[in-house]
């Protein structure tokens, strides 16, 4: 089967690129499919994750006004589709153009949407005005309308299924690329967070939490790994909060599993998530997790009080209290860490890819 993925970029350390590398490699190596990945504006160089040499990489240049942008997108993809003659098209693009693909390309070829984010995802703070609120509401309704046009709309969890409420939706979670052999011993005094420095990922919400937590736990350190975390904005905020001595900022590293193994707790303060690989991979190593109950990924992974704490979104005081509890209670960390590592069975690579293979066989019959 010839499978084409449409994704803005795979030249980054993000969760979508991580998952796509795992799945695309499996599709060509284990299942014998022909896989093509179409990115935009040099979105496939340089690659952060490994993509098998048998995978075909394409890139298209998109510039200009929104209308010129869409016209260029439609024209370039038409040329690629005509050449490849795909049996299945998978859109992994949360941008508006991703939702418009079935309208831009009326075709009998099955078009699937792979949703890696919340329906309510916001890449920047919305304007608190009547027009700003109206625009936000309109975009959500437009997403829902367009989502119904896809042959199948794949979501990553039951929580996401409830969020979208679509008749054509199907749950297939992200897989773990590997099952960790070495687990964290949870004895270090390091807390870890992994996220790019964007509004959506909410690192600006994490630093004030750490400021208050570190007052009672001065011997602990927070390590933050991610794209643009070493730029001026977070450093300035850390200095303003007077926590620059207890926070360390690092650019992305390929062997993030080793960093999880050195930590004792993993934190997430995102404003929205799909099914965050950061939590899956950290908890697989045995880290208890604390995350805001944002829409809607963390609640699909964290079982409150068993493998971590799910905090009411934006409730800083509860977050601080639960974090302090874990930092000061080794036995509780170990208990929750042991429970956290049990999630690996649900996200086993072979199991997840069997679900994808079954879906491909189903859409091929249609």
pLDDT for residue 122:
73
With contact defined as beta carbons under 8 Å apart, do 200 and 271 qualify? yes
* Residue 129: pLDDT band with limits 50, 70, 90: confident
With contact defined as beta carbons under 8 Å apart, do 192 and 297 qualify? no
User: CB burial class (10 A; 0-12, 13-18, 19+) of residue 83?
Assistant: exposed
Check pLDDT > 90 for residue 283.
yes
Q: How far apart are CA 252 and CA 227, in angstroms?
A: 6
Domains of the chain: which residue ranges? 2-175+348-365, 190-346
Percent of the chain with pLDDT over 90: 85
Which pLDDT tens digit goes with each residue over 208-221?
A: 999 999 999 999 99
> For 126-130, what is the mean pLDDT?
68
> For 129-157, what is the mean pLDDT?
90
pLDDT for residue 338:
97
* Residue 16: pLDDT band with limits 50, 70, 90: very high
Which pLDDT tens digit goes with each residue over 234-267?
A: 999 999 999 999 999 999 999 999 999 999 999 9
* Residue 71: pLDDT band with limits 50, 70, 90: very high
User: CB burial class (10 A; 0-12, 13-18, 19+) of residue 217?
Assistant: middle
Give pTM, 2 decimals. Answer: 0.93
Check pLDDT > 80 for residue 124.
no
CA distances from 353 to 46, 328, 341, 357 (A): 26, 40, 21, 6
pLDDT for residue 230:
67
Question: Quick one: tokens of 37?
Answer: 């990945």
**CATH 3.40.1160.10 is right for the domain spanning 190-346:** no
Which candidate, 7, 306, 292, 300, places its Cα nearest to that of 174?
300
> Which residues neighbour 246 within 8 Å (Cβ) at sequence distance 6 or greater?
210, 214, 218, 220, 221, 222
CA dihedral 285, 156, 354, 342 (to 10 degrees): 30
Q: How far apart are CA 327 and CA 81, in angstroms?
A: 53
Percent of the chain with pLDDT over 70: 98
> Which residues neighbour 331 within 8 Å (Cβ) at sequence distance 6 or greater?
none
pLDDT for residue 169:
97
How high is the mean pLDDT of the chain? 94
Check pLDDT > 70 for residue 312.
yes
Q: How far apart are CA 197 and CA 231, in angstroms?
A: 9
pLDDT for residue 127:
60
* Residue 106: pLDDT band with limits 50, 70, 90: confident
Check pLDDT > 90 for residue 366.
no
Q: How far apart are CA 349 and CA 277, in angstroms?
A: 13
Q: Do domains 2-175+348-365 and 190-346 have the same CATH topology?
A: yes
Q: How far apart are CA 328 and CA 214, in angstroms?
A: 12
Helix axes 203-216, 232-240, angle to 10 degrees: 30
Check pLDDT > 70 for residue 87.
yes
Check pLDDT > 90 for residue 187.
yes
Q: How far apart are CA 22 and CA 17, in angstroms?
A: 9
pLDDT for residue 126:
62
* Residue 131: pLDDT band with limits 50, 70, 90: confident
- The highest-level CATH class for domain 2-175+348-365 is alpha beta
Question: Quick one: tokens of 198?
Answer: 């964007």
Q: How is residue 172 annotated by DSSP?
A: -
pLDDT for residue 121:
81
* Residue 322: pLDDT band with limits 50, 70, 90: very high
* Residue 144: pLDDT band with limits 50, 70, 90: very high
């Amino acid at each position: 089967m010839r499978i084409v993925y449409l994704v803005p970029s795979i030249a980054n350390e993000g969760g979508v690129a991580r998952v796509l590398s795992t799945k695309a490699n499996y599709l060509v190596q284990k299942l014998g499919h022909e896989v093509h990945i179409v990115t935009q504006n040099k979105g496939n160089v340089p690659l952060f994750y490994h993509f098998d040499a048998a995978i075909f990489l394409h890139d298209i240049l998109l510039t200009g006004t929104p209308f010129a942008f869409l016209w260029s997108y439609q024209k370039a993809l038409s040329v690629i589709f005509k050449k490849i003659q795909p049996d299945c098209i998978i859109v992994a693009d949360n941008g508006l153009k991703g939702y418009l693909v079935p309208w831009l390309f009326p075709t009998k070829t099955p078009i699937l949407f792979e949703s890696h984010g919340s329906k309510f995802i916001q890449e920047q703070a919305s304007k608190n005005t009547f027009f700003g609120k109206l625009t936000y509401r309109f975009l959500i309704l437009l997403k829902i309308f367009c989502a119904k046009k896809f042959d199948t709309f794949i979501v990553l969890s039951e929580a996401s299924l409830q969020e979208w409420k679509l008749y054509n939706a199907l749950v297939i979670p992200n897989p773990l690329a590997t099952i960790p052999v070495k687990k964290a011993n949870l004895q270090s005094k390091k807390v870890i967070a992994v996220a790019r420095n964007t509004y959506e990922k909410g690192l600006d919400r994490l630093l004030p939490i750490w400021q208050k937590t570190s007052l009672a736990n001065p011997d602990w350190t927070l390590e933050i790994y991610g794209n643009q975390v070493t730029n001026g904005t977070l450093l300035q905020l850390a200095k303003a909060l007077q926590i620059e001595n207890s926070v360390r900022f690092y650019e992305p590293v390929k062997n993030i599993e080793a960093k999880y193994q050195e930590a004792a707790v993993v934190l997430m303060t995102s404003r929205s998530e799909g099914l965050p690989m950061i939590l899956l991979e950290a908890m697989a190593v045995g880290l208890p997790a604390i995350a805001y109950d944002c829409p809607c990924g963390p609640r699909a992974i964290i079982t409150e009080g068993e493998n971590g704490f799910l905090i009411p979104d934006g409730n800083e005081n509860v977050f601080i209290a639960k974090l302090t509890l874990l930092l000061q209670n080794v036995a509780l960390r170990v208990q929750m860490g042991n429970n956290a590592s049990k999630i690996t069975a649900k996200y086993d690579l072979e199991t997840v890819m069997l679900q994808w293979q079954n879906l491909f066989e189903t859409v091929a019959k249609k």
